Amino acid sequence: MRNRIFWGLFLLLSAVLLIASQLHLITYTFNFWTIVATMFLVFFLIKSLVYFSVSGTVFTLAFLAILYAKPLGIATLSAWTILGAALLISIGLSVILNPFLAKHRPWMRYKSQIKWEKKPFDGSYYEYNDDMKTVDSPDVNVFVKMGNSVRYVRSNDFHTANVQANLGSAKVYFDHVTVNDTATIKVNVSLGNIELFIPRNWNVVKGINNNMGNISEAGVQNISSDSPTVTITGLVSMGNLKIQYI
C-alpha cells in the first residue's frame, strides 16, 4: 500500500511540475543535470514522507536547498552550514516526534497476537550508554538512541525481534536461537548502525526499504530444505545495516 502511495504522489508532483513549467509559472532555468538531481531528491523526499522518516525528509530538503540556493536567495550560506543545520533539525525533530511516529511505523510495533504495550518485561530497552546484555525471550525489542548496545538473544522458539538504532549502534547475535517455523526481524535505522549476526543455515528473506542508507551482507549462507525462513523487514534511513552470516 505504501508503494502505491509513493508512486501516486511521485506522479502527481511530476504532473504539477510539468504543467507549471509549461505555463511559465517557474522562471528558474533548469539544465539537464539539475532536473536529474531534482527528480532523484524528490524521489527520496516522497519516500521519506510516506515512511515517516524525519532524517530522510530533513536531509533531502537540505540537499534541495543546496541545489536551488540561488533562486531561494540563500546562496550566501555554504553547503556545510545547511547540512549542519539539517543535522541539528533532524536530531531535534527525532527526539520530539519519534514517540508519535512509532504508532505509524509497522516495524516499530508488534502485530497480530503480540501486543507490546501489554507484554511483561521481556528484554526491551531504551539505551543511552554502552551496554551488553543477554536476552532470553522469543520476542525481543532493542531500542538504541545515542549509544551502543550488544544483545545476545537466546530462545528455543524465536518469533520476533524489533531492532531500532537512532543516532546509535546496535549489534544483535542470533547464534543461540532456534526457529521452529518462521520468524521476523524488524529493523529501523536512522543515522545509526545495526549489525545482525544470523546463523548461516537460515533462509533469509529481505524486505527492507532503503532511504539513502547502506545495506550489506557478509559471510556465506548454507541453506537446506530444513532451513527455517526468517524475514527481515523495516527501513534504513541515512544509516547502515549489515547482515553477517555466522
DSSP-based three-state secondary structure for 198: strand
Give the pLDDT score at 99: 62
pLDDT tens sequence across 107-163: 444 343 333 344 444 444 444 445 777 888 888 999 888 778 899 999 898 999 999
Q: Half-sphere exposure (CA, 13 Å, Cβ side) for 228? A: 16
In sequence order, the 6+-apart residues with CB closer than 8 A to the CB of 31 are none
Domain boundaries defined on the chain:
2-103, 111-245
Phi-psi category of residue 48: left, alpha or beta, with phi > 0 → left and psi -120 to 50 → alpha? alpha
Cα distances (Å, whole numbers) of residue 22 to 29, 40, 50, 191, 214:
12, 21, 28, 39, 38
Q: Is the pLDDT of residue 207 over 60?
A: yes
Answer whether 122's CB lies under 8 Å from 141's CB: yes
Give the pLDDT score at 38: 79
